[in-house]
Each structure stands twice: as structure tokens, then as C-alpha cells.
Amino acid sequence: MPRTVRPDPCAPEHRQPARRVLCTQEVSTMIATRRRQSGQPRPPAHAAVSAPAAALRARARCAAFLTLIASGATWAATQQPTLPLPVVVGTIESAKVGETRPFWISLPDGYSATGQPYPVLYMLDGEFNFNSGVIGGLRWAASLGEIPEFIVVGIPNTDRAKDMFQEEVTFSDGSKAGGRADRFLEFIQTELIPYVDRTYRTQPYRVLYGTSNTGFTAVYALLHRPELASSYVAASATLRLPGFLAERDERIRTFAGGRRRLVLVMGEQDLPTVLVQNGALKEKVEMLAPAGLTCGLTVVERGEHVPADALLTGVRRLFEGWSLGRPLTAENFREIRDQVERRPAQYGVIEKLPESALRSLGGALLDAKRAAEAVEVCQFRVESYPRSAEAHVSLGDAYRLGGETEKARTCYRQALTLAPDHPDARACLQELAK
Amino acid sequence: MPRTVRPDPCAPEHRQPARRVLCTQEVSTMIATRRRQSGQPRPPAHAAVSAPAAALRARARCAAFLTLIASGATWAATQQPTLPLPVVVGTIESAKVGETRPFWISLPDGYSATGQPYPVLYMLDGEFNFNSGVIGGLRWAASLGEIPEFIVVGIPNTDRAKDMFQEEVTFSDGSKAGGRADRFLEFIQTELIPYVDRTYRTQPYRVLYGTSNTGFTAVYALLHRPELASSYVAASATLRLPGFLAERDERIRTFAGGRRRLVLVMGEQDLPTVLVQNGALKEKVEMLAPAGLTCGLTVVERGEHVPADALLTGVRRLFEGWSLGRPLTAENFREIRDQVERRPAQYGVIEKLPESALRSLGGALLDAKRAAEAVEVCQFRVESYPRSAEAHVSLGDAYRLGGETEKARTCYRQALTLAPDHPDARACLQELAK
């Protein structure tokens, strides 16, 4: 049976942080995180333990391993950082626009480690928007749990004037613009998105983001090609195009794109007509749109044209209520589990609870010998991370604690099918065979 | 003399954004940013202009060039993104600790382009803190103008338990920790910092950041080795070490490190003793410290041990009042110039106004034929960017507008010494020779 180790000041039961565990070493207090080492490529927590690993391991038993992190003189010397914002640069030969189109992709830090699929944000005007300030804001907010982590795809312009409008417009000096927005959006929808979906682990949820004139392009895409993305964020969209204004209300009234969300962001000190035209669009969606199409409008106080935090402002609007807002505890487990399970229906995005949070809570419940609750938490962990051998071992431990030996055996065996050399699973099965 | 082009809806006079210029193309309105093309490796602004570049150039004259951006089918195809958060990985053979020490460096996006020196943030517990969430928050806040841009140096642990304390402590299980903090800090101060200063463009201003036990290390460094950094941010520092508590008050009373700032950040739901010990340290600094040493304390509401936004919270405290908070206009120019010029004395950090903002305002004043003000703005631009040939040309234009032909000639000649082929400088000198 699991043996309870000394109280751990870093991870007291019923107070497990949901997103991040950082332990400290208080003098004269032995620290042990109740995390199993196996199956963890890189523990998410600080934990300094005073005794050598071997001594600790000898002291630890089946279900209560002590984790030694950052100990041993060469530990970090061989580590590489998870490169912040790793960026992939590529091009596509586009038949739709007849050009070589560059694209830039920023992956979440954990992309390689997690094995999870991510929603994707497609960013127009890549050469202006794809930078550490804008993307850093998204990464920061995701690290705080306010929004999901995204793969960000920047689409730099090759001929901005052509791509931003479909209708051709003539300027006062006689020159022309527009004419290629439909083909440009077809390139994104039928060439770029399929490439990204083939190449990376993506969820079907997509955001299209545009700024200023390409904010218009994003609005145009929503009304003409709503299957391109799930949500559209348009920053300081310039909406005063005659053809667009002529068809706008009818397009909204007859919108058949299903559940789509548009967020309009602009600055309080934006350019002339931006507030008026965006306000008008917002009102028309409220008045005319069928159920499913909704529109949020945010004016950034004292903001100028395309406020510097327009994207984060818009994405926060898309994910209002997303944050769990509190650490996972035994008391709020069911509530948080339900909130996480509602996310796909509510937002169209899946984001699991971190396995580390479920590991900590499950371990604490095992230590406290609260078998029924431990089963519930470990069961949810197994459902969330079915390929985690360690999760199956934990569920086995929970069943064993509750006296359900046969179910425990099944779990340990399942762990061994996933990780044939898993020492805990093997040891526990042997103990049960005695 | 400069010719005024048609009104530019993107950059109306007296309303020039200080940090970012983003223009739009309103239908039937010709857009012209009053930016000179020469000397600009990559314009910071969106601007779509409808006419071909050659036609525009033919129409533009000496001081009122029209800028064509993102036009031409292959423009962006050959561009690479400024890689968000470029990361450099390296090691130092440290004589001080007798180890190979890894380090990770994140440079600001604009590092290669700006030629400016940056303050440096040294981050302990690199393997936990050096990630896109934490660094992304800094980049995002810097892009909003709330804090300066930093070079961030992550220092991963090799033997955390040894490095975090100088005093040796014995745990309840008999194991020991500590003993190497002095040598570890000497490594940072005499090996790592000099390497970074030799290799990158740095300002003397440095922040040392530590979390949990290494938050203690940061506090210890301030009191034992204050020349290591200008400011110290300690997140959820664990301060309950007997030796430290015994010497704390005397160290504070006799502090001789000059002007230093300590910011203590922790969570409202932090570990036991963290709030109490940090509160005590804050109070002792208030009561005992000589002038120069100051301490800020921030408790993050509902935050846990080492809140996820601890670093940004701490750096924001260091740079309270840093933000200019409003776009640069002719009316507030002197006020903002003074604010920028006070920064080195007030914060220890230099950050210039972006040249693009001064270019826009100077151009608008030239167009409005407000010669005296244009001279003042262009003069400040030349002082801020003395190696910008374009800045000297602008100042020449301003003098010329005010009838000070000889001063104008000197400026154009100065531009030619910096950029011997500068077409504007050459053309203007020829015009003046007629």
C-alpha cells in the first residue's frame, strides 16, 4: 500500500495549484513532491531535496516516490531551454494566387513535449504583427490560464493592396487596389490551412486576425467564407468600402456560417470613420444576424489606430470565462473537471488540466487515504492522458487503496502495455501476487 | 523648400503615436506617410499606397517623400521575420564554481536592427523561469511602453541546493544544503556578466531575479554583493534561514551599496512564512536602511507560491511612471522629451523615443511650415540618433524652412559624411547651390 511520507510544505493536500507547482526548501523540513519520476520527461516543479537520489529512492516505496530535481552537478549543463517561441519559416507555392507565399509559425514552448493538439491563430499583415510583443502577450496570458495556448501562423504580405479587398477601388490619383481578396482567402483556406493541419497537431478551432485594412479582410472573410475560421478578430478594421457597405446588411441577415464570433477592437483615438463603421457593423450584427453569429466590440482607452495590445484584447474577449481562476483542490475537483469538460462545447477548444496538477491532487488523496476521491481524480487523469503509463499506475494505486485489487491489477497491466519496463507497475503487480 | 502633400489621414499633425505608427488605406484618399525611405532598413508602419513607386517618387520632392511599403509581388517572399525571442545558448567554464555553466539569452526582436544598448535581466532558476510565458510578458509590456526592453539571461541550475544558500543548513533527515552561494554569485558577477557585457550591447543597469529559494539568493546578493545588479526582484523568497535572520538587520543598517531597489513579490496564498518573512524584510528596510536602498512589496491577489506573473509584476514595480502614456504631439513634445531625458537619472535606464515617432512629428511640422518647432524636434532627433543620415537631412530641411541656409548646408554635409550616397542630402545641397 502507499506509504505516507512526511508532510510536504510545498504541496499540502487540498491546496494543489492547478497550473504550476513551485516548491521551496524550508530549512529543517524535508521536501518531497509526491510525483512519480517515471514518465516525466521534465518535471514542472521546483523541488530541492537534500538527500542523494539513491538514498531517497531507497526510502521511497511503491506509490510515494520522492522526486529529485536539479540535483547533480551536470544536470542542467546538458539541458537545452525549451526555446521560447520557436519559429518555423516556410513558403508555399500557391496555385490560387500564383505566387510563392511565405509563412511564419510560432509554436507553444511545450509543443514537442505535450503531444497535444493546439488551436491555430492565422495572422494577416504578418510583417507587422508577428513579433515578440504581440505573440508574447498571447504566451503570457496563456501561461496565466486566461486563454488557451495557440499555434500562431503569420502571413506576411506579398501584395497587400491587391489581397486586402475583393472589390477594385480607384484612388483619387487614379491608381487602383483590390481584386484578389477572394483568391487570397482561398489560398489560406485551401492551401495554407491544410498544410498546417497536415504538418502540426492542430485542433479545428481557428482564429483569423487582421489589422487595419486586413481587419477589413477578416470581416470580409467572415461574411463570404465563414468556414475559414471559427472566430475573427479585426483590429481597427477600415470598413468604408462602397461594395461592402452595399451588401453588408444582406450578408449579415442571410449569414449561414453557423456559430461564428467576430470581435472588433479599436483605439479610442482611432482614425476617422473607424469607430463609426465598426460601431455600425456591431449594431447590424446585433439587429440582423441569425442565431450563431455574434459580435463583440472593444474600444481600447486612449488607444490609437491598431492598439499595441489589440490581439490580446480580442482573444481575451473570445475566451471570457475560460480561466479556471483557482487552484485545483479536492473540494473543487468536480467543479473544475466539469468546467474543463464544458470547454469544447462552450469555446470550441479542448485544453486539458495539466497532468502535473492531477498527479499532485491524486497523490495527496492517496497519502490521505481518501480512496474514493483518489479513484475519481486518477480516473479523470487516465481519461485525460490515456497514454500516460504513470496515470494508469496511479489509478491502480487508488483502486488498491480502496481494496479493489482486481481493478488495480488491470491498471498496472495497462501501464505495462504502454511502458513495458515501468518499474512501479511491475513492482506493484509483484506485491499483489504475494 | 518642402512641399506639403495632400493631407494624410494616417498621420495627422499633432497626433503622432509615440511608439507605433500604423496607417490604413481609406478608399479615395491618397495615403502618404511623411517618412523618408533612405536610411530606413524596415519601416515600422503599415502604409499601402496606391500608385506605383516610381510615379509616387516622381511626384514627391526633397522633403516630402512618399513611402511605399509592402508593394511588389516579391517583397515579403524574401523577408525573414524578426524571430520572436531569438535565444542564444552557451556555456562558460567557470573557475569560480569549477563547473561548466550553461546560460540562455533572449534578445529583443529589434536587437540587430536598433544598434542600441539594452539593460539586462539575470534570471536564476533558468530551467523554470526562462520560458515564453514569463519572457513573453516582458516583451508584451515593453511593446506597450510600460517597461524598457531587456536582454534576458537565464541561468539554469547545476546544483541548486548548493548555490542557493551560503550558510550550510542541515535538514531533518541529516542531509545538507548550501555552502556555495558566494562562489555562485561571484561566477555571475565576475564571469557571466563580463561575458555578456563583452558580447552584447548592454547598459550598466541590471536586474537580478530569483524565485522561491533563489529569491532568497537574490536578497542575499543585494545585501552581500550589491554591485552585482541595480535592482533585485525576489518572487516568494524563502527567508527563514537562521544565519540570514541573525545578520539581516545589521546588514540593512550598514548597507553601503548606494542606490538599489528591491522588489518582493509573492502570492496571497503563498507558502507558510513567506508573507511574514517578506513583510518583516520590507519593514526592516523601511526602518533601518540608509537613503538609497528602497524596497517595494507586492502581494498578487489569489496568487500561489511564485505567482505566474511574478516577474512582470516586479519589473512593473521597478518602472512605475516609465510609460509615456500618450502619443507624441507638437503640443506635448517638450514635456515628453524632458520625461525621456529624465529616465537615466530616474531609473538608471536609457530608452530613446523611437526615431519613427520623431520622424513623423518632424515631417508634420515641416509640412505645416512651423519652422521653429520643426528645428526643435529635428534637433532632438539628431541628438538621439546622431548616426542617422536621414535625421541630419530632416534638420537641414527644418533650418532651410526657417531661412537658415548655412546651418541647413552643414546638416546636409553631415548627412553625406554618414551616407556618402544619400540622394536627398545631395539633391538638397544642389538646390541650395542654385
CA angle A64, A70, A75 (to 5 degrees): 120
Using the predicted structure, report yes or no on whether residue B169 has a pLDDT greater than 70. yes
Closest chain A residue to B76 measured between Cα atoms?
A: A158
Q: What is the mean pLDDT of residues B91-97?
A: 96
B433 touches chain A (CB under 8 A): no
Closest chain A residue to B160 measured between Cα atoms?
A: A70
Integer Cα distance of B54 and B49 in angstroms: 12
Closest chain B residue to A49 measured between Cα atoms?
A: B161
Integer Cα distance of B221 and A2 in angstroms: 42
For chain B, percent helix, then strand, then coil, each to nearest 5?
45, 15, 45
B427 touches chain A (CB under 8 A): no
Ordered DSSP codes for B352-380: PPPHHHHHHHHHHHHHTT-HHHHHHHHHH
A17 touches chain B (CB under 8 A): yes
Q: Convert A65-89 to b/e letters by CB count within 10 Å (16 or more is b).
A: bbbbbbbeeebbeebebbbbbbbee
Residue among A333, A7, A19, A110 at smallest CA distance from B306: A19
A108 touches chain B (CB under 8 A): yes
Contact B25/A87, CB-based, under 8 Å?
Answer: no
The separation between CA A400 and the C-alpha centre of its own chain, rounded to angstroms, equals 35
Q: How many CA atoms does the CB half-sphere of A142 hold within 13 Å? A: 26
In A134-289, which ranges are E strands? Answer: 151-154, 169-170, 176-177, 202-211, 231-235, 260-267
What is the pLDDT, as a whole number, of residue B172? Answer: 76
A130 touches chain B (CB under 8 A): yes
Domains of chain B: 87-318 (3.40.50.1820), 351-433 (1.25.40.10)
Closest chain B residue to A308 measured between Cα atoms?
A: B144
A181 touches chain B (CB under 8 A): no
DSSP designation for A71: -
Integer Cα distance of B349 and B189 in angstroms: 19
In this structure, what C-alpha cell is assigned to residue A360?
499532485
List helix spans (H) across A152-203: 160-164, 181-187, 193-199
A169 contacts in chain B (CB < 8 Å): 27-28
A17 contacts in chain B (CB < 8 Å): 304-305
DSSP designation for A397: H
Q: Which of A28, A83, A160 sits opposite B87 (nearest CB)?
A: A83
Please, which pLDDT band fits residue B163 given cuts at 50, 70 and 90?
Answer: very high
Q: Are B94 and B187 in contact (CB under 8 A)?
A: yes
Using the predicted structure, report yes or no on whether residue B27 has a pLDDT greater than 50. no
A 10 A CB-CB count for A115 gives 11
| Residue entry with cell 551536470 | A74
ipTM value greater than 0.90 = no
DSSP designation for A301: T
CA distance, residue A209 to nearest chain B CA (Å): 15
Using the predicted structure, report yes or no on whether residue B312 has a pLDDT greater than 90. yes
Q: Are A101 and B77 in contact (CB under 8 A)?
A: yes
Q: Are B280 and B266 in contact (CB under 8 A)?
A: no
In this structure, what C-alpha cell is assigned to residue A231?
472566430
Integer Cα distance of B335 and A147 in angstroms: 38
Q: Which of A9, A71, A82 sits opposite B159 (nearest CB)?
A: A71
pLDDT in tens, chain A (434 residues): 333 223 223 322 222 222 222 222 222 222 222 222 223 222 223 322 233 322 322 233 222 222 222 222 223 333 555 554 468 889 999 999 999 999 999 999 888 888 899 999 999 999 999 999 999 999 999 999 999 999 999 999 999 999 999 999 887 788 788 999 999 999 999 999 999 999 999 999 999 999 999 999 999 999 999 999 999 999 999 999 999 999 999 999 999 999 999 999 999 999 999 999 999 999 999 999 999 999 999 999 989 999 999 999 999 999 999 999 888 999 999 999 999 999 999 999 999 999 999 999 999 999 999 999 999 999 999 999 999 999 999 999 999 999 999 999 999 999 999 999 999 999 999 999 88
Contact B22/A211, CB-based, under 8 Å?
Answer: yes
A41 touches chain B (CB under 8 A): no
Integer Cα distance of B241 and B221 in angstroms: 14
End-to-end CA distance of chain B: 13
Element (H, E) at A356: helix A355-367
| Residue entry with cell 507560491 | B305
Q: Report phi then psi at B366, rounded to 5.
A: -60, -45
pLDDT tens digits, B186-235: 999 999 999 999 999 999 999 999 999 999 999 999 999 999 999 999 99
Q: Report phi then psi at A17, rounded to 5.
A: -65, 140
What is the pLDDT, as a whole number, of residue A36? Answer: 28
Q: Which of A89, A109, A271 sits opposite B132 (nearest CB)?
A: A109
Q: Which residues 6+ apart lie within 8 Å of B129 measured at CB?
A: B123, B154, B209, B211, B311
Residue among B96, B122, B99, B124 at smallest CA distance from B238: B124
B225 touches chain A (CB under 8 A): no
What is the pLDDT, as a whole number, of residue A20? Answer: 28
Residue among A368, A361, A417 at smallest CA distance from A393: A417
Integer Cα distance of A433 and B162 in angstroms: 43
Q: Give SS3 for A142.
A: helix
A 10 A CB-CB count for A177 gives 24
What is the pLDDT, as a whole number, of residue A325? Answer: 85
A238 contacts in chain B (CB < 8 Å): 24-26
Using the predicted structure, report yes or no on whether residue B33 has a pLDDT greater than 90. no
Q: What is the mean pLDDT of residues B244-270?
A: 97
Contact B304/A213, CB-based, under 8 Å?
Answer: no
In this structure, what C-alpha cell is assigned to residue A299?
474600444
**Residue % of chain B over a pLDDT of 70:** 80
Closest chain B residue to A56 measured between Cα atoms?
A: B173
Integer Cα distance of A25 and A48 in angstroms: 6
A7 contacts in chain B (CB < 8 Å): none
A407 touches chain B (CB under 8 A): no
Q: Which of A25, A106, A134 sits opposite B177 (nearest CB)?
A: A25
Please, which pLDDT band fits residue B80 given cuts at 50, 70 and 90?
Answer: low
In B21-150, which ranges are E strands? Answer: 87-94, 99-106, 118-123
B273 touches chain A (CB under 8 A): yes
A302 contacts in chain B (CB < 8 Å): 325-326
Average per-residue pLDDT in chain B? 82
For chains A and B, count residue pairs whose Cβ atoms are closer than 8 Å. Answer: 337
If 0-12 CB within 10 Å is exposed, 13-18 middle and 19+ buried, where does residue A151 land?
Answer: buried
Element (H, E) at B427: helix B423-433
What is the pLDDT, as a whole number, of residue A11? Answer: 28
Q: Which residues pair with B209 in a beta bridge?
A: B123, B233
pLDDT tens digits, B320-361: 999 998 889 999 999 999 999 999 999 999 999 999 999 999
In this structure, what C-alpha cell is assigned to residue B136?
513573453
Residue among A196, A37, A40 at smallest CA distance from A113: A40
Contact B24/A305, CB-based, under 8 Å?
Answer: yes
**Residue % of chain B over a pLDDT of 90:** 74
Contact B139/A143, CB-based, under 8 Å?
Answer: no
B104 contacts in chain A (CB < 8 Å): 81
Q: Report phi then psi at B145, rounded to 5.
A: 80, 10
Residue among B80, B46, B48, B58 at smallest CA distance from B3: B58
Integer Cα distance of B47 and B32 in angstroms: 8
Q: Which of A20, A81, A91 sits opposite B87 (nearest CB)?
A: A81
Which tops the pLDDT comparison, B10 or A359?
A: A359
If 0-12 CB within 10 Å is exposed, 13-18 middle and 19+ buried, where does residue A200 land?
Answer: middle
Contact B85/A304, CB-based, under 8 Å?
Answer: no
What is the pLDDT, as a whole number, of residue A47? Answer: 28
DSSP designation for B402: T
Q: Are B16 and B329 in contact (CB under 8 A)?
A: yes
Q: Report phi then psi at A231, rounded to 5.
A: -140, 155
Q: Are A68 and A49 in contact (CB under 8 A)?
A: yes
Q: In this predicted structure, which of A270-274, B35-39, B373-377 has the lowest mean pLDDT?
A: B35-39
In this structure, what C-alpha cell is assigned to residue A153?
501562423
What is the pLDDT, as a whole number, of residue A176? Answer: 85
pLDDT tens digits, B108-157: 988 888 889 999 999 999 999 999 999 999 999 999 999 999 999 999 99
| Residue entry with cell 489606430 | A305
Name the CA dihedral angle for B373, B376, B379, B383, rounded to a multiple of 10 degrees. Answer: -140
Q: Convert A201-226 to b/e letters by CB count within 10 Å (16 or more is b).
A: ebbebbbbbbbbbbbbbbbbbbbebb
B134 touches chain A (CB under 8 A): yes
Please, which pLDDT band fits residue B177 given cuts at 50, 70 and 90?
Answer: confident
Contact A24/B100, CB-based, under 8 Å?
Answer: no
What is the pLDDT, as a whole number, of residue A81? Answer: 55
In this structure, what C-alpha cell is assigned to residue B184?
555562485
Q: Which residues 6+ apart lie within 8 Å of B229 measured at CB?
A: B122, B206, B207, B208, B221, B222
| Residue entry with cell 518572487 | B235
Contact B50/A9, CB-based, under 8 Å?
Answer: no
A405 touches chain B (CB under 8 A): no
A53 touches chain B (CB under 8 A): no
Contact A158/B212, CB-based, under 8 Å?
Answer: no
B354 touches chain A (CB under 8 A): no
The contacts found for A252-258 with CB under 8 angstroms, 24 or more apart, are A252/A223, A252/A284, A252/A285, A252/A288, A252/A289, A252/A293, A253/A288, A253/A289, A253/A290, A255/A223, A255/A226, A255/A289, A255/A290, A255/A292, A255/A293, A256/A226, A256/A290, A257/A222, A257/A226, A257/A227, A257/A292, A257/A293, A258/A226, A258/A292
CA distance, residue B116 to nearest chain A CA (Å): 18
What is the pLDDT, as a whole number, of residue A115? Answer: 85
